Chain A
Amino acid sequence: MDLSTFIQQLLNGISLGGLYALIAIGYTMVYGILRLINFAHGDVFMLATYFAYYLVGIYMLPWWLGITLAVLLAALVGMSIDRVAYRPLRNAPRISALITAVGVSFLLENGGIVVLGARPKGFPRPEIMGKVYTLAGASIIGVSVWVPVLTLLILAALLFIVYRTKIGAAMRAVSTDMETTRLMGVDIDRVISFTFALGSALAAAGGIMWAFKFPQINPLMGILPGWKAFTAAVVGGIGNIIGAMLGGLVIGIVEIMIVAFLPWLSGYKDAFVFIILIAFLLFKPTGFLGEPLKEKV
């Protein structure tokens, strides 16, 4: 293997990992606050691609408008899921909300199959994503350039929201100590709603870019990326946003490298993600950046 293929694959890994990171952030934020695995998160990722598909591909809206609307719709869906399915169970045993989450996820997947059809649909591609650039003799297709760039911009915006705005401060406060934050007069439910909206918007952006890369969408497409993204959140340290980004990158790079350099194992690339999950739970359960969870007794 020569260096340039390696670098090429590394970039591919980073590009894919960035998308995992975008999904993982939604998982990690919700888990940090509610200790809930939002199983429906991967399905919101899927729905967003269908929103974009219909808005741009069928109703012929311009790309910028179609994407914006799709992301907003996904945020709305995420918020509504919380409002309808999770909020009534805040004081119920933890397992109740988890079961409901599985139910919602399954509803979205099967609803998708019935309403949208089980057959994969071809996702349109904006011109800029299909354009071929020549860079120092090598030719690169637009998606490989623009997806990582956009991911980076979105992550920067997210960090700004979380660390530099009032609502971001409220989110962080709620995730460290919900009771105290409530006593300080913060409207917890609003913060949680916002968290769901933000996480879903990120997953939506991730989903649409995913569809640029792999332009076939189907109602079950969110399951595996969703699960890998959660694994990324665990690897990075559950509850930690920067950790989720790191974890996403690691998973993305490992996956690409296995396909690229151990092609006879490429059928098992998902199994490697599982092995990573098990290894981390065994040897570094707090992940890269997570703090040990000490339940207050």
Chain B
Amino acid sequence: MDKDRNRVARSIDTAVLRDSQDEILKIEHVTMKFGGLIAVNDFSLSMKRGELVGLIGPNGAGKTTVFNVITGQYTPSDGRVLFDGDDITGLPPDIIVTRGIARTFQNVRLFNGLTVLDNVLVSYHSRIRSSFLEAVFRTKRHLEEEKAMRQNGIDLLRQVGLEHLANEEAGNLPYGQQRRLEIARALATSPKLLLLDEPAAGMNPEETRQLMKFIQDIRDKYALTILLIEHDMHVVMGICERIRVLDYGISIAEGSPVEIQHNQRVIQAYLGEEERAYA
């Protein structure tokens, strides 16, 4: 635990070194309604480059919906999302990802029938320059692109420790490795901002520990900014520098892990959930 804290402190230092004033993501007054339900209500958040922020809250608080708004799955009913200074509100997901925001899904959504390597290679496709006819007639340019793509994919798999599984079908991997592959697939899009939706869900303590280390590693290696949804408080408190708490679509608190742990409203919200659960 102590070691983890040190790590956090260190990475805060590096973040400060990088550029403390540089804002990468700015969400302004976003509201998302589904029919009568207000899933997210007047949500604002700004993230600095290199930050690792946690987004927590009871079930149904609207966390995943925030992700879906950022990545363009949903167009917000109100408010806007700025990324790197550009307004990206309402852009389709495939455009937003090329701008530099990648994500994982709460319920792992791999391309189950494809191999592990192919899962990663799909992410490179949007940057391909040769046309489909060049692909069909196997022009030199296309073959070179495919080769480079494949090499990058294998390198990436090696870095995340999945190289030995490159030719396995993704759907056949054990759960923990599926989660890891999903992160690798997101990394292959060369993101600046990575959104992780409950990456530790369903993992045992050992896998969780590895995951925490993994997240910190990739963040350093790829100079990522990370927004993380997680129910496992050990993970959230262990690696996040700043935590935002949502309840019924409304932000009820923000602060450092220690502050959040002692915040009355947060404790109330979670206790309330327990009561709801046992009611």
CB distance from B102 to the nearest CB of A (A): 14
Q: Are the CB atoms of B34 and A297 closer together than 8 Å?
A: no
- Cβ-closest chain B residue relative to A93: B113
A291 to B64: give the CA distance in the assembly, Å: 21
Compute how far the CA of A297 lies from the CA of B229 in the bound complex, rounded to whole angstroms: 14
A297 CB contacts on chain B under 8 angstroms? 64, 68, 73, 105
Distance of A294 Cα from B77 Cα, bound (Å): 13
The CA of A297 and the CA of B68, in the complex, are separated in Å by 7
Q: In the complex the two chains form, what is the Cα distance from A291 to B35 in whole Å?
A: 9
Residues of A within 8 A of B43 (CB): none
B74 surroundings in chain A (CB, below 8 A): 294
- The size class of the interface chain B forms with chain A is under 10
| Chain A residues within 8 Å of chain B by Cβ, number | 3
Residues of B within 8 A of A (CB): 34-35, 64, 68, 73-74, 105
A178–chain B nearest beta-carbon distance, Å: 16
Residues on A with beta carbons closer than 8 Å to the beta carbon of B35: 291
What residues of chain A have their CB less than 8 Å away from a CB belonging to chain B? 291, 294, 297
- Tell me the dominant secondary structure on chain B's binding face: loop
Instruction: Determine the residue in chain A with the shortest Cβ distance to B73.
Output: A297
* Whole-angstrom CA separation of A297 from B67 in the bound complex: 10
| Nearest chain A residue, comparing its CB with the CB of B68 | A297
- From B109, which residue of chain A is reached at the shortest CB distance? A297
A292 nearest in chain B by CB position: B75
Give the distance in Å from the alpha carbon of A294 to the alpha carbon of B37 in the complex.
14
Q: How far is the CA of A297 from the CA of B35 in the complex (A)?
A: 17
Q: Quote the shortest CB–CB distance from A168 to chain B (angstroms).
A: 19
The distance from the CB of A292 to the nearest CB of chain B, in whole angstroms, is 10
Q: Name the residue of chain A whose CB is nearest to the CB of B71.
A: A297
B68 contact set on A, CB distance < 8 A: 297
Residues of B within 8 A of A291 (CB): 35
Measured CB to CB, the closest approach of chain A to B78, in angstroms, equals 16
What would 7 A/B residue contacts be, using CB atoms closer than 8 Å?
A: A291-B35, A294-B34, A294-B74, A297-B64, A297-B68, A297-B73, A297-B105
- A7 to chain B minimum Cβ distance, whole angstroms, is 40
Q: Which residue of B lies closest to A176 (CB)?
A: B35
Chain A, Cβ-Cβ closest to B107 = A297
Query: In the complex, what residues of B have CB within 8 A of residue A294's CB?
Result: 34, 74
Closest chain A CB from B76 CB (angstroms): 12
Task: Compute how far the CA of A291 lies from the CA of B73 in the bound complex, rounded to whole angstroms.
Answer: 16
Alpha-carbon distance between A24 and B64 when the two chains are bound, in angstroms = 36
Q: What are the 7 A-B residue pairs with the smallest beta carbon separation, nearest first?
A: A297-B73, A297-B68, A294-B74, A297-B105, A294-B34, A297-B64, A291-B35
> What's the minimum C-beta distance from B87 to chain A, rounded to whole angstroms?
22
Tell me the minimal C-beta distance from A142 to chain B in angstroms: 45
B105: A residues at CB distance < 8 A: 297
A294 CA to B73 CA, complexed, in Å: 9
Shortest A92–chain B CB gap in Å is 13
Chain B residue with minimal CB distance to A295? B73
| Smallest CB separation, A176 vs chain B (Å) | 9
Residues of A within 8 A of B73 (CB): 297
Cβ distance A240 to chain B, nearest Cβ, rounded Å: 14
Alpha-carbon distance A294/B34, docked complex (angstroms): 9
CA distance A155 to B64 in the complex (A): 41
| Complex CA distance for A297 and B197, rounded to whole angstroms | 11
B64 CB contacts on chain A under 8 angstroms: 297
Name the CB-closest residue of B to A294. Answer: B74
Q: Within the assembled complex, what's the spacing in Å between the Cα atoms of A199 and B27?
A: 47
Query: How many Å from the CB of A227 to the closest CB on chain B?
Result: 31
Residue of A nearest to B197 (CB): A297
A294 to B105, CA, bound (A): 16
Nearest-neighbour CB distance to chain B for A91, whole angstroms, equals 13
Distance between Cα atoms of A297 and B109 in the complex (Å) = 10
Q: Tell me the complex Cα distance, A297–B105, Å.
A: 8
| A297 and B65 alpha carbons, distance in the complex (Å) | 8
Which residues of chain A are near B34, meaning CB under 8 Å? Answer: 294
B71 to chain A minimum Cβ distance, whole angstroms, is: 9
Using CB atoms, name the residue of chain A closest to B67: A297
State A294–B32 Cα separation when bound (angstroms): 12
**Chain A proximity of B55: nearest CB distance (Å):** 16
Considering the chains assembled together, what is the distance between the CA atoms of A291 and B74 in angstroms?
14
Minimum CB–CB distance from B103 to chain A (whole Å) comes to 9
Question: A182 CA to B34 CA in the complex, in Å?
Answer: 21
Name the distance in Å between B112's Cβ and chain A's nearest Cβ. 11
**B121, chain A: closest CB distance, angstroms:** 22
Give Cα A214 to B34, complex, Å: 45
In the complex the two chains form, what is the Cα distance from A291 to B37 in whole Å? 15
In the assembled complex, the CB of B149 is this many whole angstroms from the nearest CB of chain A, namely 27
A297 to B195, CA, bound (A): 14
- The distance from the CB of B60 to the nearest CB of chain A, in whole angstroms, is 11
**How many angstroms from the CA of A159 to the CA of B74 in the assembled complex?**
33
CA distance A297 to B73 in the complex (A): 8
Chain A's nearest CB lies how many Å from the CB of B32?
Answer: 10
Q: What is the minimal beta-carbon distance from B30 to any residue of chain A, in angstroms? A: 16
CB distance from B54 to the nearest CB of A (A): 20
